[in-house]
Amino acid sequence: MSQPLPSPASAAEIAAAVRGRAVTARDVVEEHLARIARVDPGVNALTVVFADLARTAASEVDAALAAGRDPGPLAGVPISVKENIDLTWSATTNGWRGLADAVPARDATIVHRVRAAGAVPVARGNMPDFGMRWDTDNDVFGRTLNPWNRERSAGGSSGGDAVAVATGMSALGLGNDFGGSLRLPAYAAGVVGLRPSQGRVPRAAVQGQPVALTLQQFSVNGPMARGVDDVVLALGVMQGWDAADPMSLAASALRPEEAPRRVGVVRGSAGVEADPEVAAGIDRAAASLTRAGWEVVDVDAPRLEEAAVLWRRLSCTDMLISLDPAALGQPLGRSATEFLRDSTAAARPYESAREYAEAWARRAVIAADWRRLQVEVPVILGPVSTSRMREPDHDLGGQEAADRAWRDLWLTVVVNFLGLPALALPAGIGADGMPTGVQLIGPAFGEELLFEAGRAVEAGVPPLPPL
């Protein structure tokens, strides 16, 4: 490199160094490609590496700077892009062999925006078939391994991007979150994952094909990084109304000064106590917030079990329709087929239009209770998972395993059900040598408030050792 950067450097550090001509974007990309070559064979986080295309894109950033042009706030920042987000450099496989040749005609809006801001895609991140599982494995690319402990799951579905960010192979990961798919891998890998408010970041172009209602309402795109300020930087580029996504909004954000500095702590899930290491991470985060001047109180999450059950039953009802092998033209992969079978059997999908409609009608009741709570207690602190990261394939093995995996994540999936923003971040290392972590849940479009709380947690807990 022209001038050494910290290793691994943050996205903000990289962009500042490149824009200041202290280092070239090409050198930054070369360093990341070399790290990918060293690290990825041991974790299998990345499915496609764009060595030549990334070098060309980095050289274009350097050429813009040499010509006196501003390449953007992400100048030269290496990113990974999940396998279900359109990037014209390779097929958008969704982790499924049936889409192995599905090269998109154009970039997804968020990819277009981060590239226009100077970011350089270096690779694609692995995921399970159609993002269905809470582990990352598929028949096309294989399993992603947890870099902290190969006997623990890397989480899913954005597991590849979380591991790539944690190990320094990319500075930012672009993923999405339908039921914890950003936050659970962030917890597993010890990185920061932001699930934005529903509509704040464009999800996907709608091109004449029907989109399941749960996918419209529960799923959002979002960034992962090694620090809170980097996800703030990424959100600033990714967010905003998009003509191709009817769910996207240009809504005004809640200003932090308008909300009380009060955090409500949820320590378990409707009778399910958090693992002691998880509880210790919550306590560290709560203490950090208290020291930073936040008032911390215990609260009960309104209608938590009901909301989690509704999320699951609605999701499984739609998955049975949209992922029917007869409609897809060929079956899902081995593990995805098993997961869909067990989860839908345990969830009891809705069998009538009346049941389905009544379930959606309950959402407004639950959302109103949460809104009332968050007027007084705007930020909720709790676990991403009430358990430590479990073994690979922890979400397979029958209905009991499917139930257990879902119960670990009640607080997490309720965020999806309600369309709220949530920030997952590390809270130190547990006695087992794995990262602990928490999530902060804000009111709709309250990301800036979450970022203030997240910075307080980040500053107050022990940093993770480098991988």
Q: What is the amino acid identity at position 48? A: V
- List 442's β-bridge partners, or say none: none
Catalytic residue among 80, 90, 157, 387: 157
Quickly count: other Cβ atoms within 10 Å of residue 377's Cβ.
Answer: 20
CA 149 vs CA 132, 241, 274, 432: distances in Å: 23, 40, 21, 10
Catalytic residue among 10, 90, 170, 181: 181
> Running DSSP on this structure, what letter comes out for residue 254?
P
Token look-up 């894109």 returns: 57
Quickly count: other Cβ atoms within 10 Å of residue 112's Cβ.
Answer: 16
Angle in degrees, CA 325, 331, 336, rounded to 5: 105
Q: Are 385 and 184 in contact (CB under 8 A)?
A: yes
Q: Is 387 a catalytic residue?
A: no
Q: Give buried/exposed letters for 402-424 (b at 16+ CB in 10 A, else e).
A: bebbbbbbbbbbbbbbbbbbbbb
Q: What are the structural domain ranges in the chain? A: 11-460
Please indicate, yes or no, whether the overall pTM of this predicted structure exceeds 0.95: yes
Catalytic residue among 10, 80, 82, 158: 82
pLDDT in tens, the chain (467 residues): 456 788 899 999 999 999 999 999 999 999 999 999 999 999 999 999 999 999 999 999 999 999 999 999 999 999 999 999 999 999 999 999 999 999 999 999 999 999 999 999 999 999 999 999 999 999 999 999 999 999 999 999 999 999 999 999 999 999 999 999 999 999 999 999 999 999 999 998 778 888 999 999 999 999 999 999 999 999 999 999 999 999 999 878 788 888 999 999 998 776 788 999 999 999 999 999 999 999 999 999 999 999 999 999 999 999 999 999 888 999 999 999 999 999 999 999 999 999 999 999 999 999 999 999 999 999 999 999 999 999 999 999 999 999 999 999 999 999 999 999 999 999 999 999 999 999 999 999 999 999 999 999 999 999 999 99
Token look-up 């920042």 returns: 77
Give me the DSSP letters along 281-315. Answer: HHHHHHHHHHHTT-EEEE-PPTTHHHHHHHHHHHH
Token look-up 């923003």 returns: 421
Q: Is 82 a catalytic residue?
A: yes
Mind spelling out the 3-state secondary structure of 81-109? EECCCCCCCCCCCCCCHHHCCCCCCCCCH
- List 80's β-bridge partners, or say none: 123, 173
Length of the chain: 467
Token look-up 């990424």 returns: 234
Pick among 3.40.640.10, 3.40.50.10800, 3.90.1300.10, 3.20.20.70: CATH of 11-460? 3.90.1300.10
